[in-house]
Structure 1
Amino acid sequence: MPRIVSHLWFAEQAREAVDFYVSIIPNSAIAGETTVPAETPSGPPDSVKVIEFTLDGQNFIALEAGPFDPFNHAFSILVECDSQQEIDRIWDAFLANGGEAEQCGWLKDRWGLCWQIVPRVLGEMISSPDRDRARRATEVMLGMVKLDIDALERAFNGRD
């Protein structure tokens, strides 16, 4: 059976990025690190690093191989949180480490990788069969930067 692994190409500082990610996402670990022993288009033998890691059980590989294509919004890592405290903790850690806040629960870390820090309940709200409730929650979410569970629930329940 195939294994699916998200592959992230870093120009530099891949190990620093991975160390940061596993420090803030629970149930995360670095599985191993190696260097490519042959010459590559990115450099001489042992200049390209490969780091295998998991974020809450999800497999990733970080490759540090010099500049290629920068990260963009076409790929993001979505972190579903069960509480506002968890959203605040992760969000604040990214900003304190040089990240930039964006709209609708998105942020960009200092390496340029995009993240979505969202409450798990948001998916349930937006997919609600009661489309009026779903619309209200969506409209409130679209006006936020960091997502606020209480405000989303108030909108969803028509109390805002």
Structure 2
Amino acid sequence: MIPKNTICIWYDTEAETAARFYASVFPDSEVEAVHRAPMDNPGTKEGDVLVVRFTVCGIPCIGVNGGPIFPQSEAFSFQIATDTQEETDRYWNAIVGNGGRESACGWCKDRWGVNWQITPRTLTEALAAGGDEGRRAFAAMMTMQKIDVAAIDAARRG
């Protein structure tokens, strides 16, 4: 069944490879279908992978191989909530270690240019609490690339 609302992500040529990688890393993720181009078009040739239907952590997505016309930007990112440093490390290391790169404040970019926020729940909870707790946690986060759960928890306590 095709969902009513689906995130569509533009890839140059590797939508299927990206989707299979995401399915191998994140829970409740899978590649559901691979559709090939019925004819030549500006982004693909007849028979090439054109559209991939997949889910990431239960969120329905479509990957389109459209060529290099529209590169990824930080205007779109997946935000993955984590519960422990081990989980944070596992996702971060999978993305960065597979040709991706680190950014700031819990953000990283996969090798296809898609942006990810690997965000421990303790950080989100601190920001929601606001006040001094939120300010301390935010200030701590601003010094980090991958989020350090223990440092955020310490900042929350003051």
**Alignment TM-score > 0.5, same fold:** yes
Question: Are 1:116 and 2:109 an aligned pair?
Answer: no
Q: How does 1:98-117 map to 2 (within 5 A)?
A: 98-117=99-118
Per the TM alignment, residue 40 of structure 1 is displaced from its structure 2 partner at its CA by 2.9
Per the TM alignment, residue 47 of structure 1 is displaced from its structure 2 partner at its CA by 3.4
Deviates more, 1:42-51 or 1:64-73: 42-51
Q: Which amino acid aligns with 2:23?
A: V
Whole-angstrom CA distance in 1 between matches of 2:37 and 2:13:
15
Q: Which amino acid aligns with 1:106?
A: W
**1:29 to 1:67, Cα distance in 2 relative to 1, 3 A:** same
**Structure 1: stretches of 5+ with no match in the other structure:** none
* Aligned partner of residue 105 in structure 2, secondary structure: helix
**Structure 2: stretches of 5+ with no match in the other structure:** none
Q: How does 1:58-97 map to 2 (within 5 A)?
A: 58-97=59-98
Question: Conserved in 1, the CA contact under 8 Å of 2:13 and 2:67?
Answer: yes
Deviates more, 1:138-147 or 1:47-56: 47-56
Q: How does 1:1-150 map to 2 (within 5 A)?
A: 3-129=4-130, 131-150=131-150
Whole-angstrom CA distance in 1 between matches of 2:89 and 2:44:
40
* Aligned partner of residue 88 in structure 1, secondary structure: helix
Whole-angstrom CA distance in 2 between matches of 1:40 and 1:147:
42
Whole-angstrom CA distance in 2 between matches of 1:149 and 1:100:
20
Q: Which amino acid aligns with 1:153?
A: D
Per the TM alignment, residue 42 of structure 1 is displaced from its structure 2 partner at its CA by 2.5
Q: Which amino acid aligns with 1:68?
A: I
* Aligned partner of residue 104 in structure 1, secondary structure: coil
Per the TM alignment, residue 120 of structure 1 is displaced from its structure 2 partner at its CA by 1.7
Q: TM-score, normalised by structure 1?
A: 0.91
Per the TM alignment, residue 48 of structure 1 is displaced from its structure 2 partner at its CA by 5.0
Whole-angstrom CA distance in 1 between matches of 2:135 and 2:104:
17
Superposed CA offset, 1:122-143 (max 9, x none): 21110114x1111000000011
